[in-house]
A and B are shown apart, each in its own frame.
Chain A
Amino acid sequence: MYYIEMHGHMVSRTTDDYRAMAMAGCVAVSEPAFWAGWDRRSADSFEDYFHQLTEFEPQRAAQFAIKHVTWLCLNPKEGENRELATEVLRRIPKYLDRPSVVGIGEIGMNRVTRNEVATFMDHVQLALDHDQMILIHTPHLEDKYKGTRVTIDNLLKFPNLNPARVLIDHAEEHTIGMILENGFYTGLTLYPNTKVSLARAVDMVEKYGPERITISSACDWGPSVPTAVPQLMLEMRRRGHSEQLIRKIVFENPLQFLMQSGKFDLPRLDIHSADPNARAVPNTAART
């Protein structure tokens, strides 16, 4: 079955990971801008990163017929630095017309500080000013509930914001309800230790239904599994869920969300077929 990796930090992964993902059915990766593990020292460093995300990664993914799209921002881990954030945000618009840029993200909060909220609000305004979709990171562990609550409260201050064009990611049991109730898309992140396990992700799909829920591995430079989404498919089959439901979660929902950008399509695939086993269009010369 085909799937879309809705959140993968592929700059941190090897080319062999792309191969393994392709062999497991991955046809597209959506890569949000991320923290490098250390704070970047200047806006120039971000520009180098944006070049990597918009030029090098799409080529690397294409070797395995994987479509690569990206989201740009200054990551929440660096949001405390208002001076750097202001300069990075000033430079982002010149990249927004690039063909693989689908929006602003992953923005949000890390420890839910005043500066982080200010940087988040600047990003949301930037997205609205340029008619961009938004991908939002929610904080980890004990800050998850508070960060998600503050995120939603602040998003609701923008009367022109369409929640269906916003994905609030890394939801867990105590935050998924408030995200979906307010009309946003959400993402469940499959991590070995933190965030959500395979079984808990399926539990949430069962409890809340499949609408506007996406799944990702959020694979990055830390402990993470780039083929976690196919593992979730197996967990759903283990419980007897239909192939149609699995396809909705791992393929149709992310597809529906990303296509709102106007820049996302999968021309190699018959993505509009009602047949969950729809095969690739038989044109071997075509590239996504």
Chain B
Amino acid sequence: MNQSSTCPLTTRQIIDEYFIENRTRVLDLAAYFDRLHRSADGEPAAADFRMQALERALQVLISNDPEKIDQIQMIFSDPSTELKPKLEAKSASGAWNSASEVR
């Protein structure tokens, strides 16, 4: 699907309209990582599978790749179609943990 020029705003207009709110998002993210460094127990966050997924997502974000949203969605997703044998937890966690999959 050719999705170029589907947004009616010009590049300049998109920057003017959305820059401030995205600047805020980046600052929130920076503060989140700083908070992890200030955690009460000092446990490294990088061991957590969700943080590993977030790091991979950030690498896509700063790349020159097009369609960043699709790539990032799949970084957080279970890509298989294998059914779980039974329900073990009612809620999803936000990122796929391949290590926990029951095979």
Contacts and interface: CB of A to CB of B under 8 A. Distances in A.
A202 B90 CA distance: 30
Nearest to B18: A199
Nearest to B89: A111
Interface in A217-233: none
A146 B91 CA distance: 15
A112 B83 contact: yes
Nearest to A80: B87
Interface string B62-92: 0000000110011011111101111111111
A170 interface: no
B78 A206 contact: no
A172 B73 contact: yes
Given A116-B87, A200-B69, A143 B78 contact: yes
A4 B68 CA distance: 32
Contacts of A208: 1
A36 to B, nearest CB: 13
B74 A114 contact: no
B65 to A, nearest CB: 14
A264 interface: no
Interface string A133-159: 000000111111110011001000000
Contacts of B90: 77, 110-111
Nearest to B71: A174
Chain A interface SS verdict (over half): helix
Interface string A150-178: 10010000000000000000001110010
Nearest to B68: A173
A68 B77 CA distance: 35
B71 to A, nearest CB: 9
Given A207-B3, A238-B17, A142 B78 contact: yes
B76 A141 contact: yes
Interface residues on A, range: 35 or more
Contacts of A172: 73
Contact of B93 (A142, A207, A240): A142
A258 B17 CA distance: 35
Q: How large is the interface on B (under 10, 10 to 19, 20 to 34, 35 or more residues)?
A: 20 to 34
A206 B76 CA distance: 24
A46 B94 CA distance: 30
A239 B7 contact: yes
Nearest to A141: B92
A111 B102 CA distance: 13
Contacts of B76: 141-142
B95 interface: yes
B83 A139 contact: no
A177 B80 CA distance: 17
Contacts of A85: none
Contact of B80 (A110, A141, A146): A146
B94 A141 contact: yes
Interface string A223-256: 0000000000000001111000000000000000
A145 B77 contact: yes
Q: Name which of B9, B87, B94 has the most chain A CB atoms within 10 A of its CB.
A: B87
Given A114-B86, A142-B97, A144-B73, 4 more contacts: A112-B83, A174-B74, A239-B8, A241-B8
6 contacts: A80-B87, A110-B87, A111-B92, A142-B97, A146-B77, A207-B6
Q: Which 10 A-B pairs have the closest CB atoms?
A: A174-B73, A141-B92, A145-B77, A142-B96, A80-B87, A206-B6, A113-B84, A146-B78, A140-B92, A240-B8
